Amino acid sequence: MFSFSNNRTTWFIYVTLMALVAGLTFGNLLTQNFWDGADDESIMRDIVMLSQDLSLIISPMRGHDARPPFDLVILGGYTLWGENPVAFHAFHIALHLWASILVAITLYREKVNLELCFLTGLLFLVNVAHFRAVHWITSINYVLALIFILFVFICYRNVTKTHHTKWLIISVLMLALAILTHPAAMFMAFFCATFTWQEKGSLKQTLASSWPLLLSAPILVFIAHIISVHGQSDAALTTPDPMRIFTNVFWYLGRLVTTAHWISRATTTNFTPFWELGIGACFLVLLLVLYKKRVFPVAHASIWIGLCIVPFINNPPERLAVGPSRHLYFASLGATFILAWALQTLVKSQGLRWSQKKRQGVFATLVFLITLSSIYSLKKTEALSVYLTAISNKTLAPALFERAITQAPNLIPTDAYTRTIQMGLTSGNTYRHLLQPALQNNPDNAQLKMLWGITSLVLDNSEEQIRGERYIQEALKEMGDTPQIRYDIAVMIQNIAVYFNQKDDLDRATHLYTKALFYYPDYPLALYSLGDIYRFQKQNQKAMEAFQKVLLLVPNHKMAQAKIMALQNAQQ
């Protein structure tokens, strides 16, 4: 479509533009002055330990899996800038940028036209499907592994072209680094063998070139497994579940499409909608057609995708915090290449009787729109990272939940509002400024209605409280009048009662503790708090009854036992 010269100036301009796009896309990560979840905190505790004694790199004292190349890279960063998450995020972005540029370089070495090389590198840089691989500092291992994987391929191709032993040794060393960084990288040994087989058409020639990789890959995976604390291959070694494997294949393939350069709430969870499985099935048919018709080089991309998802297809849903995401980092490269090829092929099609200028204009517009959509979507997905961080970071949780909701209210799960409000109620903070627009956009959402009704109990307006009670009752019917929902309502009302208790508004607190018990009569905390108020107000009989109910529910409740004993002594 466009004519690019393969010279230093062209590559300099390309690298510069890629760096600008990377900064524009991921620059907000530099403002995230916190660790993205429990995994990041766990690895940093390990790194601090390793900085004092490197021999502990495969110690059972570790809280995170041992991945030596990754550990050493993170240790190097810790040595340079300490526990500064901003610096680690900057380093992470730089690695992802380098991986994307290396994708273009690798393709060009395989005689792919320069325009397609550049486009694939760009689209891989902004691919939304693998957003967690760039947001989580722990997921640097995916980016590092891909860099090593690409070097494995480059060195292996040098083996097939020059037959020099040194390239064979280097390719095995690179494979070792890749697998010890992430065991799923073992797929590269099989991809190299398949690549040669497709090129040579001879099993003998294929094995002659690839046997060192094929032999070393399972050995390296075994080593990676035995040196890990929690067993990096546990998901792969778990007893296979045929239905889960069948579902995950189509789900992973579907998500490569549904989150490629766009995002929606329906494609951010570990829920597997039927329609997404259907998209995965269609994509599988496309991959099979490309391979069967030997449409190279995209047929190689079909093989790549298949091999990349195999290590993850036995994963249970609980291992997928926000869908597969980071598990798609390797596979998304193949999907990106197919998309880039499809765009180029479509606009070049002879069936379109367009002038060269019009083809160039349409092509440039499509690339610009896809890139723009990707940047916008990746900005939104940052809110998901913030949301998950808030779940595991109790100290910063309210502020982080509010930030996540503000950044992408239509993307964040509804439970973010519940978590935020539940924590805020003990200090009288209703977060209605967040809840109101959400309820206006989703007026039939029972959970939001319930929250609106509960937060009205903080207000001094009696009419608003009456309307709020009506909201709670309506939501209770719509959500299903279950003990768990009643308990959740009681917990939040209890938190409001605590707020008024702390303000010494005991009448209001008593009313709210009683209301909490109306929704969930067997709530020990509300019973105990109510009994404490009665004791303070010298209503000893009511206090005694409340504490005795607590002991019926929690027989070893020490504080209730002590209060009963004190009341009995006072009566004597």
Q: pLDDT-derived band of residue 34, with 50, 70 and 90 as boundaries? A: low
Query: Does 394 score more than 90 pLDDT?
Result: no
Are 562 and 569 a contacting pair, CB within 8 Å?
Answer: no
Residue 571 lies in a domain: no
CB neighbours (10 Å) of residue 395? 8
pLDDT of residue 267: 87
pLDDT at 262: 93
Look at residue 37 in the predicted model and tell me its pLDDT.
60
**Residue 435 and residue 353 share a domain:** no
pLDDT (0 to 100) of residue 350: 72
Least confident of 124-133, 394-403, 444-453, 482-491: 394-403
For residues 244 and 376, state if they share a domain. Answer: yes
Residue 88 belongs to domain spanning: 8-383
How confident is residue 322, by pLDDT bands cut at 50, 70 and 90?
low
Is the pLDDT assigned to residue 231 strictly greater than 60?
Answer: no
Mean pLDDT lowest among 35-44, 86-95, 219-228, 446-455: 35-44
Query: Which amino acid, one-letter code, is at 191?
Result: F
Quick check: 180 pLDDT over 90?
yes
| Whether residue 307 is found in the same domain as residue 192 | yes
363 and 440: one domain?
A: no
Listed residues 340, 359, 383: the one ending a domain: 383
**Lowest-pLDDT range of 42-51, 345-354, 500-509:** 345-354
Question: Is 565 inside a domain boundary?
Answer: no
Contacts 24+ apart (CB under 8 A), 1-9: 1/115, 1/344, 1/347, 1/348, 1/359, 1/360, 1/363, 2/115, 2/360, 2/363, 4/114, 4/115, 4/118, 6/108, 6/114
Q: Indicate the residue among 383, 408, 430 that finishes a domain.
A: 383
Shared domain for 369 and 390, answered yes or no, is no
Q: Which pLDDT score, from 0 to 100, does residue 396 have?
A: 78
Do the domain assignments include residue 548?
no
Residue 339 is assigned to a structural domain of this protein: yes
Whole-number Cα distances in Å, 238 to 187, 243, 494, 532: 19, 14, 42, 51
Do both 134 and 98 map to the same domain?
yes
The answer on 444 and 348 residing in a single domain is no
**335 and 397 both lie in a single domain:** no
For residue 36, pLDDT beyond 60: no
pLDDT of residue 410: 87
Residues 395, 511 within the same domain: yes
Domain count, the chain: 2
Instruction: Give yes or no: residues 349 and 360 share one domain.
Output: yes
Question: Per-residue confidence at 230, pLDDT binned at 50, 70, 90?
Answer: low
Question: Is residue 465 in a domain?
Answer: yes
pLDDT tens string 465-500: 999 999 999 999 999 889 999 999 999 999 999 999
Residue 566 lies in a domain: no
Which pLDDT score, from 0 to 100, does residue 250 have?
A: 95
Question: What value does the mean pLDDT take over residues 245-260?
Answer: 94
In a domain, 451, yes or no: yes
Reported for 298-301, long-range contacts at CB under 8 A and 24+ positions apart, including other chains, are: 298/337, 298/338, 298/341, 299/198, 300/195, 300/198, 301/333, 301/334, 301/335, 301/337, 301/338, 301/341
Q: Which residue has the higher pLDDT, 554 or 205?
A: 554
**Same domain membership, residue 401 and residue 303:** no
Are 129 and 175 part of one and the same domain?
yes
Confidence class for position 49, pLDDT limits 50, 70, 90: very high
Residue 439: give its domain's CATH number: 1.25.40
Is the residue at 414 inside a domain? yes
| pLDDT, tens digit, 9 for 90 and up, residues 522-549 | 999 999 999 999 999 999 999 999 999 9
Q: What is the pLDDT of residue 321?
A: 64
Place 55 in a pLDDT band, splitting at 50, 70 and 90: confident
- The per-residue pLDDT for 5 is 86
